[in-house]
A and B are shown apart, each in its own frame.
Chain A
């Protein structure tokens, strides 16, 4: 049992605050960790990189090595990196970089450092922030409430089949596809088979979390020529298990529900904006005035909510 949420605003606004409220209202669904994927207005050039280091004492050396690999691929820091100042051993760092010659090849090499510094998102707009603890705690530590953007995802995790670690929290980035992130509530029962197949095609997974697989699975299908809608439809026929997941890119949020209708999803479209959550009571936190709720309780459902018209 996890809690997930999605939020799309009609224009750039307080998407961080809304996602914190949505996840705080669902904190009981997952006390292990909380995470957010926030899409700011996209940059014309360069990427925002969010990464997690596992030994704060080695932070300076980690960043030096990271920059060395980045420069080998033609990129550089555009701004000085910033990081959280918590007393934890692990740390979260935000970097703004110029375009590497090839993102996939760069991230492949950057992942040589993943035991020390793990890249958790790369995007023109996307930033993934995640950590151990509830929504209020993670939001305060990483200043999520102050983050502006057009849309985003949230997740509260109750770990079942992989470890409770900061980097095993959701959302997951669809490595190495920039600006694609996923949140997931459920279990993928043929996870190992799919992971093996994707690894044989060159994809790399940094956790044992089945949600990481869905992000790459969907992005891979799109890279092979499918539309997002086709990939979502295909996923509920191909992937086995009980799940509701939401996947976001620069244009909006897509969702898919398994064939067994086990995991909930409720939505609101109002005032030119959109909101989705596992539990209806979370939506009431954002719309306390009584917006019309649409429940997606049935089996085998998919859809896309676009950033512009909301019903893409």
Chain B
């Protein structure tokens, strides 16, 4: 079955979104062309939808995703997959500032580099970066994993809370309260199991696992579960 093609061009994003949602809900594969780096494409797509974007997209593409599989063939602007709950987003090139900000679940696979603050305030899910992580990756992340195969820029894992960042390659500098720990074989196996389905398995990598040093924590108890209200 051929994909439903949507031409963005200069059309209003509201109109494009309505057509996209309609096509996605019929479980028809959708191919979006002439994206011209426009913002807010593919927001809130439903589970089961399959959407590909030809070229580059602007800000917040795939935001609030609830389970769609989204492929961006070019670069993505700021906030790709922001607030997503489930699903799978692939970025063919570079992803701008704050990829996966506040995401709660799902996976974002960035084949190029990621801009600063990837995974800022993320609360779950996984971000895989084949290239280099930008500055302040994982800033104040509450949960989830960020995995970078091409090193990391300055202030990596700054003010991290409970997430973790895995880096293979050079780290320019660690952020405030970031702590590098030796991963266990079981933890490495878990990360490699995430990478394998993405075609990134089978290489021996010098992993560094970065977690919070807990010096910024101001809780009386180190048992965070005691503080969770859910």
Contacts and interface: CB of A to CB of B under 8 A. Distances in A.
20 contacts: A261-B97, A261-B115, A261-B116, A261-B117, A261-B135, A264-B97, A279-B77, A280-B37, A280-B58, A280-B77, A281-B37, A281-B39, A281-B58, A284-B36, A293-B37, A295-B96, A295-B115, A298-B135, A299-B116, A299-B135
B36 A281 contact: yes
Interface in A271-308: 279-281, 283-285, 288, 290, 293, 295, 297-299
Given A261-B135, A261-B136, A297 B115 contact: yes
A280 B56 contact: yes
B58 A297 contact: no
A295 B115 CA distance: 9
B94 interface: yes
Contacts of A264: 78, 96-97
A280 B57 CA distance: 9
Interface string A92-105: 00000000000000
Residue among A281, A297, A298 with max Cβ neighbours from chain B (10 Å):
A297
A281 B153 CA distance: 26
Chain B: interface size category: 20 to 34
Residue among A279, A280, A288 with max Cβ neighbours from chain B (10 Å):
A280
A6 B173 CA distance: 32
Interface string A232-274: 0000000000000000000000000000010010000000000
5 interchain residue pairs of minimum CB distance? A297-B115, A281-B37, A280-B37, A284-B36, A261-B116
Grouping DSSP codes into helix (H, G, I), strand (E, B) and loop, the A interface class, with mixed when no group exceeds half, is: loop
B142 interface: no
A284 B19 CA distance: 23
A54 B134 CA distance: 47
A293 B96 contact: no
A285 B9 CA distance: 10
Interface of B: 36-39, 55-56, 58-59, 75, 77-78, 94, 96-97, 115-117, 134-136, 153-154
Contacts of A261: 97, 115-117, 134-136
A297 B134 contact: yes
Given A280-B77, A290-B55, A293-B56, A298 B37 contact: no
Nearest to B58: A281
A288 B56 CA distance: 12
B75 A293 contact: yes
A279 B94 CA distance: 15
Contacts of B134: 261, 297-298
A145 B154 CA distance: 43
Contacts of B135: 261, 298-299
